[in-house]
A and B are shown apart, each in its own frame.
Chain A
Amino acid sequence: MKATDISNPEYFHKVVDCQYACPAHTPVPEYIRLIGQRRYSDAYMVNWESNVFPGVLGRTCDRPCEPACRRGRVDEEPVAICRLKRVAADHKDDANIATRLPAIPAKKNGKRIALIGAGPASLTVARDLMPLGYEIDLYDENAKAGGFMRSQIPSFRLPEEVLDQEVGYVLDMGVTQVFNTRVNSLREILDKQYDAVFVGTGAPKGKDLKIPGREAADANVHIGINWLESVAFEHTENIGKKVVIVGGGNTAMDCCRTAKRIGGEEVTVTVRSTYEAMKASPWEKDDTLAEGIPILANHSPREFIVEDGKLVAMTFNVVESSYDENGKRTITETGEIVTVECTDAIMAIGQDNAFPWIERDLGIEFGDWDMPVVDKHSFQSTNQKVFFGGDAAFGPENIITAVAHGHQAAISMDLFLSGKSVHDDRPAPGTNLVSTKMGIHEWAYDSQVIDDDRQASAHLPVEQALSSRKIESELGFSPEIAFTEAERCLNCDVQTVFVEEKCIECDGCTDICPTNCITFTENDEEENLRHKLNAPSNNKEQDLYVSYGLPTGRVMVKDEDVCLHCGLCAERCPTSAWDMQKYLYTVTKAGNQPAPILVEQAGRRTKQEEAA
């Protein structure tokens, strides 16, 4: 194998599994360490710079980081990254945060931008472009900004104050709020002579179920996302006593738990897949079961039963899932039919994009499934002035993906409006690699790996939680529990950096490494090299760090897979050929806005945090 080029910013980025997996590439270990030091405001700002909604995401994120977490490969469970993020938001010092938000120039740059839909993608664009002097009009059909974060996520999971605060940070930058205004024509917007338009309208159309009885039962059949929105805006205040939810995603979990809070006594979730294959996040399934809501797996909806014009039950075919060797699923009916009594049924079986309001003669090309053709990197449509992001760009994803889109779209819009290429002039990521060495065996991070299990977040007692749809059911981590959980982080951003010239091949590192990551051997092709290592090297997604040739003709090969970043290799190295160096990778934002590395220097806890 060729020697690894560690000057490539993506090499060490990939070693930080959580950050690499995060669509917005939030520097996770960086803020977890700050939480461990009780520097909550600093931790919050590291997050805010990267993902704009730390308090929201700390409660609702889909957590692509957690399955990627290296700890999950050596321990039973990964670090509770999401809940730690919430700790930063819960314990931050609001006054301190207010002083650290970007300054907004009083003198504008003369460019006007319209953002359609006030969800996470548009708000991120606004957050990135307002400090650059753009004038921004934000359109939304509702009275308040937040988009699906407000309309679809129930308040018992995301309290309104949390959302209001974080949406407020962006709106307070001076965004012109054009709310209670549904945009029914993109042409009308374009006619207002905006310099650029961003479409962040999400995927607003909930799917319906076409089975017998659907029309007759219409009065008591609800579309999940519409129903949640109607509850959120208090147009719907109650539901019948027996509620059936059809669907197994997170929307289904939100629907059933909401129903249970506004009148549903017997709420049942039905899903066609197996329990394991459900799309809902495992923790949401756990919370659902904890509230006494059964989940009936392998139930495929068959018919709505209507008596005297009223919905009385739904019938289901019991099915079986089988998988072929390629993992392709086949669902077959067993012949058994199950009837579930119900007064109401909620369809939570997915959502689609809908662009009836975009005229098809505006130069915006539409492709498969009537989706706009959007460039994957620049988020520009075929009409140069019009950009897309969030669910509106490539279909339903999640908040953190929408934020990532927003940052990239903002870069494109700024480049486009500065007369630069949205492809060639994109900024490089910010990187910083600095030694953590403080003494012979001392490091500027907690290198020792603790054995504690993943900490659980406290919940309200179920009866209390179910008493109102506005009481947050999960209480979050206390500072003490947060500290333990933060210490579970393996500090994967503290990189093992190897300098060939210093190595005397004493084997000290090889001998001490708890997970046998390091091998000195003759070089070979990757496939063969993986077989020559001191420990099995089966995780091909993880890179091998290969050195240049050493005096004995061998190379150092480190399998990044289960490195604990404990620093023992560097501690046992007599010549400092190994060093533990902290790598900070930041996604550069529009206008090359400074990366959160500044936060590190801002350091120090505030007085309030000190007192706490």
Chain B
Amino acid sequence: MSFYKPSFRHPDSPTNALGLTRKAYEGGISTLCAGCGHDSISAAIIQAVWGLNIEPHRVAKMSGIGCSSKSPNYFLNKAHGFNSVHGRMPSVTTGANVANRDLLYIGVSGDGDTASIGMGQFAHVIRRNLNMTYIVENNGCYGLTKGQDSATADEGTQSKKGKINPFEAIDLVALALELGATFVARSFSGDKQQLVPLLKAAMSHKGFALIDIVSPCVTFNNHPGSTKSYDYTREHVEAGAVVDFVPMAQEITLDQIQGSTQNVTLHNGDSVQLSKLSDNYDPTDRVRAIQTLHEHKAKDRLLTGLIYLEPESENFHDILNIPDTPLNQLDQTTLCPGSDALAQINQGLK
């Protein structure tokens, strides 16, 4: 059993603009089951943050409880991190974000942590459009407690022991669209070509970005009858809008052109280049996005890719008029300007 990864890397490992190889973005060796989709997502996060040239210590990894929430230990071990209470990752992230708005917040949650115990927090963090990337590692079961159906398990899906799930599933993407999320995507842990650019776009988005990622549980939910297995997902997946993330300085070249293309410029000048299956699909149109989502569901297809994007939205900091300087960097005289200033304010209220 290996408890650590050898320290040698490929001698010609590419470096990013900071001169760092991907090794600087790695974490500890995973203790999740071999073949877990979560490990692929960790690897995709490493690729995305490295590719965005973000210094590892400018990232905060936030999580709750569950297999998914263990996974921040397996990437970016130079980043900040907070493994919070079950389902409470959004509120801890909100606090951290208010204290230091300069960090990149990556929340990693699971279907239990989000769609069951954390449902309330999930709904409210969307409403507030908190500037963060919210990743749901969605395997449709409680892997850490022997694989019981979770709230995202589809109705009629069969557990490993043969029991049929009688309850309707919560579709986190549909819910997020209803609640006004400004970046909504779905992906599959087994498709990094799609996932990495989506992660880059989500991390560059100013506001709340949800990526619901089907991440098969190899131990409890990868059998025939499951709708969250590798095979089922591969057979039913349909990419609505394939994304290529394009940094501002770079020329736009999309290598997967299918159907028509559309370019959406993000807040910071970077852009998201989309290639779409059909001309009718417009990921900046919320109503059409909801409609397309349901159409695919009715046809038993899993719509993936970038589903909805509102590039210019008011995020939590804008709404609350929080100063540009992170609160944790303000000195005492700025935070507490003294009696004279208070008197002035009071004067103004008279």
Contacts and interface: CB of A to CB of B under 8 A. Distances in A.
Interface of A: 73-75, 440-442, 447-449, 451, 504-508, 510-512, 514-517, 535-536, 538, 551-552, 562, 564, 566-568, 571-575
Contacts of A568: 2, 5-6
A548 to B, nearest CB: 18
B299 interface: no
B12 A536 contact: yes
Interface class of chain B by DSSP = loop
Interface stretch (B30-38, B112-120, B141-149, B324-332): B30-38
Interface class of chain A by DSSP = loop
B154 interface: no
B42 A74 contact: no
B6 A505 contact: no
Given A504-B222, A506-B218, A574-B218, A448 B230 contact: no
Interface centre among B6, B192, B218, B230 (most CB of A within 10 A): B6
Contact of B6 (A448, A504, A507, A552): A448
B39 A441 contact: no
Contact of A506 (B6, B12, B35): B35
25 contacts: A73-B11, A448-B4, A449-B6, A504-B35, A506-B40, A506-B190, A507-B40, A508-B35, A508-B36, A511-B42, A512-B29, A512-B39, A515-B9, A516-B9, A536-B10, A551-B231, A562-B10, A566-B2, A566-B5, A566-B6, A568-B6, A572-B34, A573-B35, A574-B33, A574-B218
A505 B5 contact: no
A572 B2 CA distance: 10
B7 interface: yes
A86 B23 CA distance: 37
A502 to B, nearest CB: 11
B238 to A, nearest CB: 15
Contact of A451 (B7, B10, B14, B192): B7
Contacts of A512: 5, 29-30, 39
Contacts of B189: 506-507
Contacts of A551: 231, 234
Nearest to B42: A511
A572 B35 CA distance: 6
B13 interface: yes
B216 interface: yes
A574 B231 CA distance: 14
A575 B35 contact: yes
Interface in B35-57: 35-37, 39-40, 42-43
A535 B190 contact: no
Closest 8 CB pairs of A and B: A574-B35, A449-B6, A511-B43, A441-B1, A536-B12, A74-B8, A535-B10, A506-B35
Interface in B185-207: 189-190, 192
A83 B1 CA distance: 30
Contact of A75 (B8, B29, B192): B8
Given A506-B190, A572-B35, A516 B10 contact: yes
A562 B7 CA distance: 13
B39 A508 contact: yes
Contacts of B35: 504, 506, 508, 572-575
A70 to B, nearest CB: 10
Given A562-B11, A564-B6, 13 more contacts: A73-B11, A74-B10, A74-B11, A504-B35, A504-B222, A506-B190, A506-B230, A507-B43, A507-B189, A508-B34, A512-B29, A516-B9, A572-B39
